[in-house]
Structures are given as C-alpha cells and as structure tokens.
Amino acid sequence: MISKSMEQLVKGNSVIRALFEEGKEMAREVGAENVYDFSLGNPSVPAPEAVRTSMKKILDEKNTLYVHGYMSNAGYEEVREAVAKSLNERFGTDFEWPGILMTVGAAGGLNVVLRTLLDPGDEVVCFAPFFGEYTNYVHNYQAQLVVVPPNPPSFQPNLDMLQDRITQRTKAIIINNPNNPTGVVYTAETLDRLERILKEAETRIGHSIYVISDEPYRELVYDGVEVPFITKHIRNCIIGYSFSKSLSLPGERIGYLAVPKAIDDYQGLIEGLAIANRVLGFVNAPSLQQLMIKECLNEKTDVAAYDKNRKFLYKSLTDMGFECVKPEGAFYLFVKSPVEDEKAFVEEAKKQHLLLVPASSFGCPGYVRIAYCVAYDMIERSMPAFKALAEKYFG
C-alpha cells in the first residue's frame, strides 16, 4: 500500500503533465497537426551539435572506468573547476571549484539544497507566480512553502508583502529569474531591496535566510535585457542552474549548484550538499553529461528562434484583445484569462485543441501560461484557433 502522502500526490498529479497526456490523446483523435500543445517547457530547438560530438569524443578517447565510474558525490573536479572558471570569466565572480556541485538538473539541485537546509516544520518563502514543483520539493522535507501573493501587472516579486511572511521558521527564499511562468526578469533594484529586507529580517529572527536562485533560463533573454547576477546583489545566495533549457537537454538531467564563498557557513553547506546528493539517491550527476558539459560551457542555444515565436505570439494575441505580459526572458507567455475562472477558459481553449496551462498551478489564478518553446509553424497553424477563442470572449 502506498503512503498517505503519495496518495495525495497521485490525486493531484501535475496539471502540466496531465495536459501533455491529454494532448497525446487529442492527437490520436484529430491528428497531431491539429493539436496546438503549449503546455510543456520542452525546448524545440535541438541541442547544439557540439553536445553530440563531444559525447562521442569522450566515449572514444577517455578511459572507460573514468567515464563510467563513481566519483566524488559533488562531481568531477575538472568539471567543477571549469564551471567555476566559466562563471568567474563571464560574471566577474570568485567561485572556487569546491563551491560547485554538479546536479541532476535544476530539480535535483533544488532538492539537494532543501535537504541540506530544512528541518521538519521549517518554512521556505516564494513569490507567486512560481514553478509549481516547489511545493512538492519543500514538502519532501516536511517543510512548508509560504507563498507571497503576485504583483500584477509588473509581476516583480511582491516585496511589500514579504516582511510579514518571514518567521522564526523561515530558512530560505526561492526566487526564479528569468521567471517561469511570467517571462519577467527581476531587476537589480528588486534584488537590492530584497537583500535589505532579508538583512532586517535576519536581525529580527536571529539566523540566516538563504536565497535559492533558480536560474535555468539565465541565457534565455530578449531585447538586450540583462539578468542581474545574484551574487552582486545578495550575499547569502545559492545558485541552482540547469542545462535543460539553455542547451535543450531536459532529458539528460544535468545542472549545477554554485555556492559563493561569502555565504554564511560555506564549509558546512558544501559538505552538506554533497552528502544530500548521495543520501537522496542521486549519488552524483550523470558522468558522461558532466564531462560533455565541460566541453560545452560556451555553447549557446538559438535564442533567436524563441524570440521569433515570442514576438509573433505576443503581437498576435495582443491584437486579438488578450492581455499579455510582455516576456523579457524564458519561453513563456503569461496571459490574463478573459474570465475570472481561468480553468473554464482553459476548457474552452481545449475545444479549439489549444492546450494552455491554468496558472492556479503556479499560485496565480486568473491567468494562463503559454509555452512558446514550440515549432514556429505550430504557432502559425494555431492562429485560427486563438481567433475563434478571442471571438468567443471579445466578439
């Protein structure tokens, strides 16, 4: 018999995954070319060719035991060194290799941090709208996710409401920049103000609050927008990074955590993170992927392809009368539902074979998320369906 807590999870299975499955069912009925699936953040741009060539080269040239063997739980030293060097060159930081931990994607990295920081009953704060999986990750360690309400129309974090949410039990705050689901990039001013609030709160509660900065979309930005580098604004931060989106490798499960030396309890943290990687059962990030990443740190995805989708979709939907948040980063368009109950809107969209994600699953009812990391021609083909939807609501 499965546990009570798992029974709950099975019941409330991810809305996004459920939509994805519904899309497959719809495709069987009406043909895949007539289903417009905007549900999942699965990159349509192929991984750079260097990913394949370096993997082949590693398999051909490296010692088999080295490529396929166990290693330090934190990852290969040479890979961690290369990641630290690359960050330092790009952002003028001073990471050292012991502060880099290779992880099983961002999801693995976040779980490793939370396992390291949390005791049962502790609290983690996040800002709505947020990546819905945070709730599950925090519950994994019998802790509570405390959600700060959204801040439309800018969707910068609602800092006015943060202070009241911080209690003696607050151990960490998760931020996600650029943001899924809004596409908003948190500004330097936002991060500086967040730091001031946290300093005050730390004095009040008498212990450190860590900012976990979830950054799988760091390189996916448009119109020359820059993502402020978190360590320049917030001292007690841990960066969670992933190559799932930036190199189109979500199935390979590879990312890293970067811990700056200035953080409170640096040594305790980096030891704890490595052990968490082991005791959670990841043991280490996939070895071949780590070695490939070392060769591909300068590779880039085709941001222009996502930008083309972004511009087309934003303009078309806005022209039709939909109220959209203009995305500056990531590959999601956040759209206000024309009716209060966005789930009803999502059901209407399904009648046109459009799969959109209701944003109540991101803690922000009244909106929907459209993942535009899809093929451009699918967006083009979906236009009559969006038009039919617009007609229903705006006449």
Residues that bind ligand PLP (CB under 6 A): 41, 105-107, 131, 176, 180, 214, 216, 242, 244, 250, 255
- In the complex, the smallest distance separating the C-beta of residue 244 from ligand PLP, rounded to whole angstroms, is 3
Q: Residue 335: which H helix or E strand, with range?
A: strand 332-336
- In the complex, the smallest distance separating the C-beta of residue 216 from ligand PLP, rounded to whole angstroms, is 5
Name which of 41 and 48 has its Cβ closer to ligand PLP.
41
- In the complex, the smallest distance separating the C-beta of residue 259 from ligand PLP, rounded to whole angstroms, is 18
Name which of 19 and 389 has its Cβ closer to ligand PLP.
19
- In the complex, the smallest distance separating the C-beta of residue 30 from ligand PLP, rounded to whole angstroms, is 27
Name which of 316 and 361 has its Cβ closer to ligand PLP.
361
- Which residue has tokens 């946290």? 198
Amino acid, single-letter form, for residue 139 = H
Q: Residue 371: which H helix or E strand, with range?
A: strand 367-371
Name which of 293 and 389 has its Cβ closer to ligand PLP.
293
Name which of 244 and 289 has its Cβ closer to ligand PLP.
244
Phi, psi (degrees; rounded to nearest 5) at 21: -65, -40
Q: How far apart are CA 321 and CA 395, in angstroms?
A: 10
- In the complex, the smallest distance separating the C-beta of residue 33 from ligand PLP, rounded to whole angstroms, is 26
- In the complex, the smallest distance separating the C-beta of residue 61 from ligand PLP, rounded to whole angstroms, is 28
Q: How far apart are CA 187 and CA 157, in angstroms?
A: 10
With beta carbons less than 8 A apart as the criterion, state whether 133 and 40 touch: no
With b meaning 16 or more CB within 10 Å and e meaning fewer, what string describes 240-251? bbbbbbbbbbbe
For residue 227, give the 3-state DSSP assignment. Answer: coil
Write the DSSP symbol of residue 99: G
Name which of 131 and 229 has its Cβ closer to ligand PLP.
131
Two tokens at 221?
């930005």
Beta bridge partners of 81: none
